[in-house]
Amino acid sequence: MLELDASMGEGGGQIVRTCLALAMCTGTAITLHNIRARRGNPGLRAQHLAAVHAAAAICGAQVAGATHSSRQLTFEPAQVRPGRYEIDVGTAGSTMLVFQTILLPLSLCSAPSEILLRGGTHNPRAPPFEFVRDAYLPLLARLGFSARLTLERHGFFPKGGGVVRASIEPFRRAGALDLMERGPVRAMTARVVLSGLPEHIAQREVAVLRSQLDLPPGSCATDTVAAYGMGNALHVRVDCTHVTTVFAGFGIRGVSAEKVAAEVALEVQHYLAANVAVDGYLADQILLPLALASGGRFSTQQPSTHTQTNAAVIRKFLPLQYEASELEPARWGIALGPHTGMLPHTPPT
């Protein structure tokens, strides 16, 4: 039994999801203490419990402490079983975070799996569907993990009701990831989605994105979708020679459309100015696939507390080396694998 203090580092729900995935992949029984202890609403919430229940369903785990607001969880996995699963988050909680929890364990099985997920698809503080499909999964494919996602219905906070289908193929080991350069920008596109809201919101957001990112008219699209509740999501996709990155924003009551779009545009500008391959959000989420595949290295912005915590949790399960260093102002390198010394180092001045 591996016991971990879940208040370490960033101390959020990501620790729970990473531990669940690694417990299943390594066959390690775990007990987590002090779950989300420093949060204003500590303990397990509905979205975390959805990941616990989904993980238990695919591996027949024995679970204790899987209750609302629980600060301790014991998870003893059995063998992960590929197959067909239906997972209902039950709220507008993120289907994408649940999907990421079970994706890698199911990938390590010898047969494919089909997953139907219901819940939120476009949630603040969680990766939206487009980010997972267009940025996360293509990088995983280079590591040997193959999965496809189809969005059947959008699910916005707080109503949820989104529907996503996923297919997961068995893992085929590939070489280590080497992504220090992103290459030239080949295309930049924007898309705004509305449900039950006036069209002028999308028009105002597009106007800001076009102005701040110098986007031509044909690169911006607006869509009205049928969802169970009102919602507004926008994302900017940056296609470079060696990597695709997706930046997202969400309409929030009381926040102007112009501010929502401007914040997304600013994230894109910071990414482009830093001359890195991987943005901060993707850097955080690619570490676990790297650890379970052949490792590798990439350039990114300054690692967040989320990223550093994720690396620390991974090393509780696997004997890997983690290296992060500033290569030049605003440009960092991260390496994860069995050996150190994977990053180039600038001589001291």
Catalytic residue among 33, 306, 339, 345: 306
Task: Give the torsion through C-alpha atoms of 143, 303, 315, 111, to 10 deg.
Answer: -30
Name the residue type at position 344. P
Q: How far apart are CA 190 and CA 223, in angstroms?
A: 11
In degrees, to the nearest 5, what angle opens at C-alpha 69 toward C-alphas 65 and 74?
20
306 catalytic per annotation: yes
Name the residue type at position 50. A
SS in 3 state form for the chain? CEEEECCCCCCCHHHHHHHHHHHHHHCCCEEEECCCCCCCCCCCCHHHHHHHHHHHHHHCCEEECCCCCCCCEEEECCCCCCCEEEEECCCCCEHHHHHHHHHHHHHCCCCCEEEEEEEECECCCCCCHHHHHHHHHHHHHHHCCEEEEEEEECCECCCECEEEEEEEECCCCCCCEEECCCCCEEEEEEEEEEECCCHHHHHHHHHHHHHHHCCCHHHEEEEECCCCCCEEEEEEEEEECCCEEEEEEECCCCCCHHHHHHHHHHHHHHHHHHCCCECHHHHHHHHHHHHHCCCEEEEECCCCHHHHHHHHHHHHHCCCEEEEEEEECCEEEEEEECCCCCCCCCCCC
Residues recognised as catalytic:
306
